[in-house]
Amino acid sequence: MWHARQMTVKSTDPWQTPAVEVLRAHPGIRVAEIETNATPGFTGDKATGERLIEERGAVLSRLQEMLFANGRWGDRRSILLILQGMDTAGKGGMVRNVIGHVDPQGVDHTSFGVPTPEEKRHHYLWRINKALPRAGQLGVFDRSHYEDVLVVRVRNLVPESVWSTRYDEINQFERELVDSGTTLIKVAMFVSLDEQKRRLAERLERPDKHWKYNPGDVSERKLWPAYQEAYQAMLDRTSTEHAPWYVVPCDRKWYSRIAVMELLIDAFERLDLDWPSVEFDVELEKRRLAEA
Ligand code: AMP
Ligand code: MG
């Protein structure tokens, strides 16, 4: 698909290949072979990335305001960013550093933890449905319905006969979502086992990070191969034309953030937004105001 970004790629653009192209999960991708410390498509260094995130953050903010404005004037569309990744992949930091650039009133953020007793009484998509972004909103999911084919699969929380039907069900669910006007940006965040260890160690070193540490996360490390398998199945079975996965290496936080920033900007640009045309007569209102 052709869009505005290609028009603006200059030789000085540190993106050699746009993030949407280089990060899109292609058929045959192997989770075990993802280079988690790579910076696909990006030729700049950390300083370039950190400078760029401010610049692009301003662009994102403008686009998000436009979506919000259109939502106020009847446009039904919305965008939903789904962040999936193992503990320490940097989901929270992604929200602060990328989504942090936009006006909070246009953001609908939800994080999904272990289902509450009430959630457990319902179908796994029940809590997801409740959290979907309304018209004009940028929804952000920190974890999602994909937990129901990841942790649930790895930990045998339901029998295989149950979780194995969920891939098709999720594809169908997302199809309906897209048809109703929600653009999905599904981001699979990958860190290496070593990098995770460093990040968990840091959580233990720093009293201001103790709250993030969960002793259970260490036990999950033993299940790493099983998680890799579950992530592999997720990419194989739920990266669809209407809702593709993007695979983002996350050992370098600065890279993962600038990459997701670009994925978001691309999604907004594809909406081809403009400021909404209002239903009142602007010239008439100017005259009325002058006389008021
Ligand atoms: P955190 O994101 O660090 O707050 O951790 C949330 C925890 O909730 C993770 O360990 C997830 O695996 C877990 N979790 C999220 N969704 C589900 C689910 N549907 N079933 C079981 N555990 C889940
Ligand atoms: Mg955690």
* Residue 10 pLDDT grade (very low, low, confident, very high; cuts 50, 70, 90): low
Statement: residue 7 has pLDDT above 80: no
Contacts 24+ apart (CB under 8 A), 178-181: 178/242, 178/243, 180/76, 181/76, 181/77, 181/78, 181/135
DSSP 8-state assignment for residue 111 = E
In tens, the pLDDT along 186-227 reads 999 999 999 999 999 999 999 999 999 999 989 999 999 999
- Structural domain boundaries of the chain? 19-272
Statement: residue 98 has pLDDT above 70: yes
- The pLDDT of residue 272: 97
Mean pLDDT of 48-77: 97
In tens, the pLDDT along 136-157 reads 999 999 999 999 999 999 999 9
Superfamily of domain 19-272: P-loop containing nucleotide triphosphate hydrolases (3.40.50.300)
Statement: residue 290 has pLDDT above 80: yes
Statement: residue 11 has pLDDT above 90: no
Supply the angle between the helices 166-179 and 224-238 in degrees, to the nearest 10.
Answer: 50
Atom of ligand 1 minimally distant from the CA of 87: 3
Statement: residue 41 has pLDDT above 60: yes
Cβ atoms of residues 185 and 239 within 8 Å: no
Tell me how far the alpha carbon of residue 149 lies from the centroid of ligand 2, in angstroms.
Answer: 18
Mean of all residue pLDDT scores within the chain: 95
Mean pLDDT of 70-76: 95
Statement: residue 9 has pLDDT above 80: no
Atom of ligand 1 minimally distant from the CA of 155: 21
Statement: residue 50 has pLDDT above 50: yes
- 201-224 burial: b if 16+ Cβ within 10 Å, else e: eebeeeeeeeebbeeebeebeeee
Mean pLDDT of 99-112: 98
Tell me how far apart the alpha carbons of residues 5 and 26 are, in angstroms, rounded to a whole number.
21
174 lines ligand 1 (CB under 6 A): no
Statement: residue 12 has pLDDT above 80: no
Ligand 2 being an ion, which residues bring their Cβ within 5 A of it? Answer: 87, 214
147 lines ligand 1 (CB under 6 A): yes
112 lines ligand 1 (CB under 6 A): yes
117 lines ligand 1 (CB under 6 A): no
Tell me how far apart the alpha carbons of residues 186 and 243 are, in angstroms, rounded to a whole number.
7
Mean pLDDT of 42-56: 96
In tens, the pLDDT along 160-175 reads 999 999 999 999 999 9
Show Cβ contacts of residue 110 under 8 Å, excluding neighbours closer than 6 positions.
131, 139, 140, 141, 142
- The pLDDT of residue 278: 86
More confident residue, 13 or 182: 182
* Residue 117 pLDDT grade (very low, low, confident, very high; cuts 50, 70, 90): very high
Tell me how far the alpha carbon of residue 22 lies from the centroid of ligand 1, in angstroms.
Answer: 29
Best mutation site among 147, 162, 203, 217 for ligand 1 pocket (most ligand atoms within 8 Å of CB): 147
151 lines ligand 1 (CB under 6 A): yes
Mean pLDDT of 247-252: 98
Tell me how far apart the alpha carbons of residues 122 and 116 are, in angstroms, rounded to a whole number.
10
Tell me how far the alpha carbon of residue 223 lies from the centroid of ligand 1, in angstroms.
Answer: 15
Percent of the chain at pLDDT exceeding 90: 94
Statement: residue 3 has pLDDT above 80: no
Statement: residue 264 has pLDDT above 90: yes
- The pLDDT of residue 262: 98
pTM for the structure as a whole: 0.95
- The pLDDT of residue 1: 40
- The pLDDT of residue 2: 43
- The pLDDT of residue 236: 98
Percent of the chain at pLDDT exceeding 70: 96
